[in-house]
Amino acid sequence: MKKLIVEEKYNNKKLNTYLLSKYKNLSTNTLYKALRKKDIRINGKRVSENVIIHTGDEITVFISDDLLSPNIDNHKYKTLHDFVFSNIVYEDENILLVNKPIDIETVSPNTSEYTLTNLLLEKYPNIAPCHRLDRNTSGIVVFAKNEVALNILLDKFKNQEITKIYSCIVYGILSPKHGTLTGYLFKDKKLSKVYISDTPKDKYKKIITSYSVLKEDISNNYSYLEVILHTGKTHQIRAHLSHIGHPILGDGKYGRNEINSKFKLKNQLLCSRKIIFNFETPSDILEYLKGKSFEIKDNLLKQIK
């Protein structure tokens, strides 16, 4: 049990903003689970919603210490913190685009570790991610700064009115040099892994992945690709490319250990490089984003040894 007294700077702020700023490693999932169980009290009264708090409120938190403050590498945390806040790709009153580094989750539903979202909540009290990148995938993540923008963006992602373009380096030389892959994906939640089939199967979802070869190194047997997701399923790029015999270099789950060892890689060479807001339907307060795109430079080729 922890007791906290709300400082003046948090007056009229949301409860989640306050607690996530106080406990850097508290996951959003753990916080909302505590709210559902009414394990948080304000001035002695149990609360089950993300309410507004005020100066002088006494907040009592019935969350185990290991979920509030697990052992972390403080140097690593500071390094990630500094990187994130120095790599804002774009920002306005409604949205925030951040270049996510590797080795950090966008959000973390199953652990209490620090996340990209928690880091940003320190400065942006109402921030919410509109999509996710895998822990070891770098690149642009889109966040909404308010509920209206969040709902619009979630709808746009769902209806494929926002295009995500990736860069990656895969093993082997591809032929043809441009292609659109169609397959079917099954997600095994217990193993946190997906499986690909070339033909429809029960509980498999259709996926479409396009690629173009930007550069290839025949002597070292690898190719640098641009990849566009036409469907956005878990691990889609990694699993789909591995399925056709061209795993992403450094991918410990869908790649091959002997290949990753050959290139001396510990992290997968995959980056969400570009976001295009190709809105086709009305977008309310975000209409100004229609037709805009934002891009970063990846450093994937520099990581090849």
Q: Which domains does the chain have, with CATH numbers?
A: 2-68 (3.10.290.10), 74-158 (3.30.2350.10), 162-303 (3.30.2350.10)
Distance CA 153, CA 290 (A): 12
The answer to whether residue 188 is catalytic is: no
Of the candidates 293, 292, 284, 217, the one whose C-alpha atom is nearest the C-alpha of residue 249 is: 217
DSSP 248: B
Q: Is the pLDDT of residue 275 over 50?
A: yes
H/E run at residue 184:
strand 178-188
| pLDDT computed for residue 273 by the predictor | 97
Beta bridge partners of 268: none
| pLDDT computed for residue 81 by the predictor | 76
Q: Which two tokens stand for residue 157?
A: 């992602």
Distance CA 216, CA 212 (A): 11
Contacts of 101 (CB under 8 A, 6+ apart): 80, 83, 84, 87, 138
Of the candidates 118, 152, 131, the one whose C-alpha atom is nearest the C-alpha of residue 283 is: 152
Distance CA 206, CA 44 (A): 51
Contacts of 91 (CB under 8 A, 6+ apart): 97
Across the range 25-32, mean pLDDT stands at: 80
The distance between the two most distant Cα atoms of the chain, rounded to a whole number of Å, is 69
Q: Which of 82, 92, 134, 284 is catalytic?
A: 134
Distance CA 167, CA 264 (A): 19
Q: Is the pLDDT of residue 141 over 60?
A: yes
| Helices and strands, counts by H and E, the chain | 8, 15
Cα 123 to the center of its chain, rounded Å: 18
With bands split at pLDDT 50, 70 and 90, how would you rate the model's confidence at 73?
Answer: low
- Angle between helix 15-22 and helix 28-36 axes, rounded to 10 deg: 130
| pLDDT computed for residue 125 by the predictor | 80
Write the DSSP assignment of 39-85 as a string of letters.
-EEETTEEE-S--B--TT-EEEE---HHHHS----HHHHHHHHHHHH
Beta bridge partners of 14: 52
Across the range 51-69, mean pLDDT stands at: 86
- Whether 207 and 133 have beta carbons less than 8 Å apart is answered as no
| pLDDT computed for residue 110 by the predictor | 47
Beta bridge partners of 185: 196, 205
DSSP 278: -
Tell me the C-alpha to C-alpha distance, in Å, between residue 6 and each of 9, 36, 39, 121, 220: 8, 22, 18, 17, 59
Q: Is the pLDDT of residue 74 over 70?
A: no
Distance CA 273, CA 214 (A): 14
With bands split at pLDDT 50, 70 and 90, how would you rate the model's confidence at 174?
Answer: very high
Of the candidates 163, 157, 137, 245, the one whose C-alpha atom is nearest the C-alpha of residue 196 is: 245
Beta bridge partners of 187: 194
For the entire predicted model, the pTM comes to: 0.76
Q: Is the pLDDT of residue 111 over 50?
A: no
